[in-house]
Chain A
Amino acid sequence: MEIANPGCRSAKSWPRVNSGRLQLSFRRSGLLQIILVLFVIMFAGSVGAGGKEVIRLGEINPLTGHLAQHGQEIHQGVVYAVEEVNAQGGIQGRPVKLCSRDDQSRPEIALNQAQELIFREKIAGLVGGYVDSLVAPVSELAARYQVPYVASASLQQALTRQRRNPYFFRVSRLDGIVEPLSRFIDEKLKARRVAILHIATPGSTEFAASLRDNLSKVGIAVPLLEKCRAGSRDFSTFLLKVKQAGVDILVSGGFYPDNLILVRQWREMRLPLKALVAPWGVAYQSFISTLGRASEGLLGMCAWNPGITWPGTEAASCRFVQGFRQRFGQEPNTTTMHGYTSARALLLALAQLASRAEPLTGPALSQALRKLEVVLPMEHLKFDEYGDPLYYRQVVVQIQQGRMVVVYPPERAKGWLPTAPSLAE
């Protein structure tokens, strides 16, 4: 690392640069060859993608990175939906090919991959997407290139309300969580004071603000509303504050791993609370088996689970559970079902178009999705004018003896333990 003379062979030397030396440096640098080869490989992919018969479907999910667990679950749901259609002979005899891409939980990669799907794979429609910040850029792209996009898990209201996007649809929405939850807290738990914890993500933050507004409308005080970073290691100080605030209900807007730690520390500290409600992360069989006895009496929310299904779809739900178990050797859960539902919506719209022998163009598919009305295990699916699902409503479940039991809304409730049993006994 010596400090040499300022690398300039000074102005005088430049006329000596002749073609001979140029050749030399070309030969010397293997780097140039690497660059050329790379360029060839990069552009090679653009030529392929033939075969008129196959219908291509694009999927973008966080398959690696910190959102990988739920990304993989959605991915499995989408894969299952496509394989189910192919097993039944495809859409009007045409097989469906699923092109999956990983966005690594980063928006600009989601953008790149969506472009890749649209231009190289020439997909008919897009599904997937786990968090709003990953869904939003792709939805803009969908509008620009007129490729319909059915998002699997997206909540933020600004995405559909701020600007009309005729090519963006989603199978979930925030109201479907906040509304049943605030009613449940008011009617069933008869709470007076509620503490809310949320994570520094758009979805969770909007959830917390919206829930607080709803609760204060019915006269329930929210003396403690706290935000923390995703992946917090320690909630014991927060739980101290909960104890100080004298609340009877704690609502956690944290995700699966946050709730693992929160619930355990709550149990360990023997905090007197009437209930702990967490819309995300609790209503999973794997969560219950991980926490074991500590999960007893917890309240969670889900749109679907094995055994918890939209009224009238019990048979279809059973078939799905059995088929899914056979295919993946795993239990499906509510996240899987979101992936499955979004893919089903797109496939059904495609089938409708194909049965009328219409061309599978973006605008036509968007029209078909807009008119789609179907009862699926997760919800009675119909999109409103903004692309939001009209009838999406989650249910509140309670964990009783290691199983999820619906406790709200009343018409779907199966049982209810009025107080959360403490572990002290």
Chain B
Amino acid sequence: MWRWTQILVAGGALGSFYALVALGFSLIFGVTHAFNLAYGEFILLSGYLAYFLWKSWGLPFYGTIPVCLVVMPGAALLLHLFLRRVRSPFEINSLVATFGLALVLQNLMLALFSADYRLIQPEAFPFLHLPATGLTITDKQFGLLTFSLAATLLVHLLLRHTFLGKALRATIQEREAAELAGINVNRMGWLAFAFGGLLIGLAGPMYGQTMYIYPAGGVEATLIAITITIFAGVGRTRSLLLGGWLVGLAEAAAAMWLGGSWKELVSALLLITLLVVRPSGLAGRDGNHKP
């Protein structure tokens, strides 16, 4: 029995991590249709910022998050300025332009921070340990679960219960119609990048604490973000968390019963099956959505 709960905890924490990483991408992609391959590099930048604040300035780990929350929206707005120069066909060109940007950023980080692997707050500290059952929840797992829940809830409240959020949602759902309804789609783009920056600011330190960070590591974060975003449906906050948990649990279960080397296969099959079985459901509106 304890084994089941332990796998639930491990998969849930992993899934929360996935969802946290994907939130910012989902929002930005939904509103602006910028297919941002440099997203992972921005997470890394945020992670490096948190690392150096923690390591050199002695800030407590949770103290680094507010700083990242202030700095990263600025970086995201710079990215928006960059992407505004990309001309149509926007989605595919933003994909290639940010591929180039990712290369530049990777090498910049390599020159600035060296190729070493960095890890934030490695001190082991179990949050909950029940010797009788063998169940252990570490503080990192607990942090991931709470932060992903909180971030999802906040984004959800923003999108559902504010006027601004409704405008954002309208832009995600039907760009042209939103424009016709008098929504300034351009301004929504700026807002999406600002909010996306906030989410990157949160995800970066969590990434640096859960995973190690190194200059070439952005690709993995980008892949997680793209996968979970499209898996859950663009701009759907709640299903993002659900999708993350589903993939996380599937991976944990596969690692338990099939072996660690099979878990990519299981998550890939899960993704493809869901995409194939429910293309319209996951695709949202018309299923004719082009990059």
Cβ-defined partner of B259 (8 Å) among A226, A257, A261: A226
Contact with A along B187-218 (1 / 0, CB 8 A): 00000000000000000000000111011110
| With A200-B261, A228-B261, A270-B136: A237-B10 Cβ-Cβ less than 8 Å | yes
With a cutoff of 8 Å between Cβ atoms, the chain B residues found around residue A227 in the complex are 259-261
Shortest distance from the beta carbon of B234 to any chain A beta carbon, whole Å: 22
Q: For residue A233, which residues in chain B have a CB less than 8 angstroms away from its CB?
A: 14, 17, 210-211
Interface of A toward B, CB cutoff 8 Å? 1, 64-66, 68-69, 71-72, 197, 200, 226-229, 231-234, 236-238, 240-241, 243-244, 256-257, 260-261, 264-265, 267-270, 286, 290-294, 423
Asked whether any CB of chain A lies closer than 8 Å to the CB of B252, the reply is yes
CB distance from B28 to the nearest CB of A (A): 23
Q: Say yes or no: A231-B122 contact (C-beta < 8 A), given A226-B261, A256-B117.
A: no
> Which A residue's beta carbon lies closest to that of B114?
A72
Chain B residue, CB-CB nearest to A66: B216
| Residues in B lying within 8 Å of A, measured CB to CB | 3, 6-7, 10, 13-14, 17, 89, 106-107, 110, 114-119, 122-126, 129, 134, 136, 138, 140, 210-212, 214-217, 220, 251-252, 255-256, 259-261, 264
**Chain A residues near B210 (CB-CB < 8 A):** 233
Shortest Cβ distance from residue A184 to the other chain B in the assembled complex, whole angstroms: 25
Neighbour of B260 across the interface among A228, A261, A268, CB < 8 A: A228
C-alpha spacing A176/B119, complex, angstroms: 31
Of all chain B residues, which has the CB nearest A238? B260
Query: Of A72, A237, A261, A264, which contacts B115 at CB under 8 A?
Result: A72
Residues of B with C-beta under 8 A to A228:
255, 260-261
A-B pairs with beta carbons under 8 A, tally: 108
Residue of A nearest to B248 (CB): A234
* In the complex, chain B residues whose CB is within 8 Å of the CB of A286: 116
Q: Give bound CA distance, A46 to B214, whole Å.
A: 36
Closest to A258 in B: B212
**Which of A72, A234, A267 has a CB less than 8 Å from the CB of B14?**
A234
Q: Is the interface of A mostly helix, strand, loop or mixed?
A: helix
Q: Which of B114, B124, B129 contacts A423 (CB 8 A)?
A: B124
Whether B122 lies near A260 (C-beta < 8 A) is: yes
The residue in chain B whose Cβ has the minimal distance to the Cβ of A287 is: B117
Closest partner residue, chain B, to A200 (CB atom): B261
The 8 Å CB contact of A234, one of B117, B124, B134, B252, is: B252
What separation, in Å, do the CA atoms of A238 and B110 have in the docked complex? 32
**Given A228-B260, A233-B211, A290-B122, A270 and B115 contact (CB-CB distance below 8 Å):** no
A67 to chain B, nearest CB (A): 9
B212 touches A257 (CB 8 A): yes
CB pair B255 A237 closer than 8 Å: yes
Distance in angstroms from B237 CB to nearest chain A CB is 23
The docked-state distance in angstroms from the alpha carbon of A66 to that of B217 is 7
**CB atoms of B261 and A229 under 8 A apart:** yes
Q: Which residues of B contact A423 (CB under 8 A)?
A: 124
**Across the interface, which residues of B come within 8 angstroms of A236, CB to CB?**
6, 10, 252
Q: A66-B216, A260-B212, A293-B123 are in contact. List 8 more A-B contacts (CB 8 A).
A: A64-B216, A68-B214, A69-B117, A231-B217, A240-B3, A240-B10, A260-B119, A292-B122
Contact A268 B124 (CB under 8 A): yes
Given A64-B107, A260-B212, decide whether A232 and B260 contact each other with a Cβ distance below 8 A: yes
The complex places the Cα of A226 from the Cα of B119 at a distance, in Å, of 25
Give chain B residues whose Cβ lies under 8 Å from the Cβ of A71. Answer: 115
> What are 18 A-B residue pairs whose CB atoms fall within 8 Å in the complex?
A1-B89, A64-B215, A68-B115, A68-B216, A197-B260, A226-B261, A227-B259, A228-B261, A234-B14, A237-B10, A257-B117, A260-B122, A264-B119, A268-B125, A290-B119, A291-B119, A293-B123, A423-B124
Q: Does the CB pair A268–B261 fall under 8 Å?
A: no
Q: Which residues of chain A have C-beta atoms less than 8 A from B14's C-beta?
A: 233-234
**For residue B107, which residues in chain A have a CB less than 8 angstroms away from its CB?**
64
CA distance A267 to B140 in the complex (A): 13
Complex contacts, A293 vs chain B, CB 8 Å: 123
A90 to B255, CA, bound (A): 55
Task: Give the nearest-CB partner of A269 in chain B.
Answer: B136
A196 to chain B, nearest CB (A): 12
User: Once bound together, how far apart are the Cα atoms of A294 and B123, in whole Å?
Assistant: 7
Given contacts A68-B215, A200-B261, A268-B138, contact A240 B256 (CB under 8 A): yes
Asked if A292 contacts B220 (CB within 8 A), the reply is: no
A238 to B256, CA, bound (A): 7
Using CB atoms, name the residue of chain B closest to A71.
B115
Q: Which residues of A contact B134 (CB under 8 A)?
A: 243
Between A237, A238, A241, the greatest number of chain B beta carbons within 10 A of the residue's beta carbon is seen for: A237
* B216 proximity list for chain A (CB < 8 A): 64-66, 68
Distance (whole angstroms) from the CB of B52 to the closest CB of chain A:
14
- Roughly how many angstroms separate A421 CA and B271 CA in the complex, as a whole number? 43
Complex alpha-carbon distance, A237 and B251, angstroms: 9
Contact present for A268 and B136 (CB under 8 Å): yes
Please give me the residue from chain A that is nearest to B6 by CB atom.
A240
Question: Nearest-CB distance from A295 to chain B (Å)?
Answer: 9
Chain B residues, CB < 8 A from A68: 110, 115, 214-216
Q: Which residues of B contact A200 (CB under 8 A)?
A: 261
Instruction: Name which residue of chain B comes closest to A231, CB basis.
Output: B220
Q: Which residue of A lies closest to B127 (CB)?
A: A268
B122 is contacted by which of A69, A197, A294 (Cβ under 8 Å)?
A: A294
Nearest-neighbour CB distance to chain A for B150, whole angstroms, equals 21
Q: Which of A197, A241, A268 has the most CB of B within 10 A?
A: A268
